[in-house]
Structure 1
C-alpha cells in the first residue's frame, strides 16, 4: 500500500460508510483501511464486492479500543481519517441512550486521542497534508418551524434527542481538538440520507420492505414532519470534496435541496411500487399506511442551507428526490436477498420493541 494515499475509514460497513468506501475505491482508487465494530447496522455484505480487492483492508474493531486504533495508525500510516462510526437511530437512542454515549462521545474521544498522538509524531511534510474528517448530522441543530430559514453552519446547536445530543458532543470534541491542539479537522453535517444498503429500520427501506410484505406502513403522528432528503451517492461525493479542499477547522453543511414531509416520501415510494410491482397482493400500496403514536421529542422540520460548500467548491447534489428515490426502490427490489438476510433476529426484536407497543392514532 502507498501510505501517502491511504485513508482510514471508521464505520465503513454501515450504510453511509460502506457507500463511501465503494465510492472512494471507484473514483479515487487508493487504499482504504476499514474499521467497523459490526453492530446491528454494520454489515459485511455491504462491502462483499471488495473481498478480493487488495486496496481494501477490513478490520473488525471498536473505536473505543485505543490500543487497536494506535496500532492501525502505526501500521498503515494513513494521511486521512474519515470518521463515520456512530450509533445513529433516534428511536434506538430513546430506548437505550447509553450505547450512544459510549460510541458517539467516548468513542470519538478515544479516536481523537489516538489520532492526536499519531499526528504529533509525523514529519512536518506529512502533518501538513493530514486530515481528520468527522461526519455528523443536521439533527444537532434541533427543530425548525415551517417558515424558519434552513440550518446554516452558524446555527446554534439545540439537540432534542439522546442521539442528536451525543452527536453534538462529538462535534464539539472535534472542534476543540483543532483549536486546542491544532489537529487538522473538518466536520460535515448532512441531512437525511437514503439509498442502497440502508438498514431497514429507517423510514424508506422500512416502507419498501413492509409494503412488499403487505404489512402496515407506520407513520408517526400526522406524518407532516419535514426532512431534507440527500441521496447517499451525492453525500459521498461531497465528503470527497471537503476532504480534498475543506478549510481546516471548518464545518460544511451538506443537503439534498429536497424538503419532503414523511407522508410525501411514503406516498412516493408507494407510487413507484404500484408501478413496478403490479403483481402485489395489496394495491395501492398506500392503503397500508397506518398512523401511530408519535415518538417523544420528534423534531418538526430539518432543512439545510448548503450554500457554503456550493460557493467554495461548486458542489451541488446531482440527484433530485424523484430520480434518487426511484434508484433506491429499484435497488431494494433487485436485492431482496440482502434485505432478507437482515430482517431476522435483532431486527425483529427491534420492530417489536419500537412499533408493537405503539397504539394506532
Structure 2
C-alpha cells in the first residue's frame, strides 16, 4: 500500500454551495474500498443529498495528469501500475521510475511510455465502444472532443439537432484538455474538437464558430457592483480566482490577452480546474473570476453577479478543430450544424441582459 499515490475526491454539491469538503484517498486501495470512502465522504456532506464528486487533486502521479472526471477506476489503474511495476522498464533496458523515501517519480522514458500506453488504451476503448455502438443499431459514429468548457445551451442545441436529423449516428463526447484534444485529433482518436484555442499546428485546421461575451464574476455586495460595466483597471486591484492554465488552456490564452492590456501585477487568490469551484470561491469572497456570460448564467449562483467589462466588449471565441482535408459526408453534415462564426453570440434572455447592463 502506498502513502504517496493518492487522490483528493471533492464533494461537488458542497463546492457549489461554497463549502470545501472532500477526502484524500490512497489510490492503490481496492476499488471497492475507494468507492466506500467516497460514499462515506458524501454522506457527511454539509449539503443534504450530495451525490456527485470529482477528483480535484492528486499526488504521486508525476508524469500523468489525472483529469477531474477521469474516474476512480482509471486513477486506481494508473496508481497500481506505478506502485506494482517499478521494474517494468527492465525489459526495455530503461529506467521508468525514480523512487525516494518521499515520492515516486516517472523518468522521461517513463513519461513517454505512459503517454503511448494511454493512447493504446484509448484506441482499445474506442474499438469496444464502436462494436457496442454497432450492436445497439447505430450506423455511424462521430467522436467529439470538448475543451475549455462549452456552454450547455450551445451543446444541447447541437446534440438535439443531431438526434433529430440523424438519429442513427451516435455522437460520442470526450472532455479533455486542449493538448489532449490536439494529440487525439492527430492520432485519429477524435473526429472533431471544440476548444477556445486555434494554436493547433500542422495537419489540423481551426475555424471560429461561436462568440460569447467575457464577463467578470463578482461576489454579491462587492464594491465593484456600483459599476454597470467594470473597468479592467478596477478588476485587477482585487484578488483573482483564475482557471488552471493546464486544464483550461484555450480559455487561459484568450484571458491572458485581455489581462495583458493592464500594467498591474495580479494578485492571484487561487487557480482552479473547474468553473464550479471558481464560482464557489467567488461566492465565498476569495476573489473575482472570469468566464463567459453563457456559462455563468447557466450556473445561476445567487451569490455571484456577472458584470461586463468596461470599454470595448471582450469576446471569447470557440473554434471547431479538425484534420485538414475534405471531411466525409457524415462528418461534413455535423460540421454544418455548428453555427457559423457570423452568427450572433449566445446571450441570456432580455431580462438577464438588463440585470448585467
Shorter-chain TM range is: under 0.3
- Larger helix proportion, structure 1 or 2? 1
TM-score (norm 2): 0.27
- Larger strand proportion, structure 1 or 2? 2
TM-score (norm 1): 0.26
| Structure with larger Rg | 2
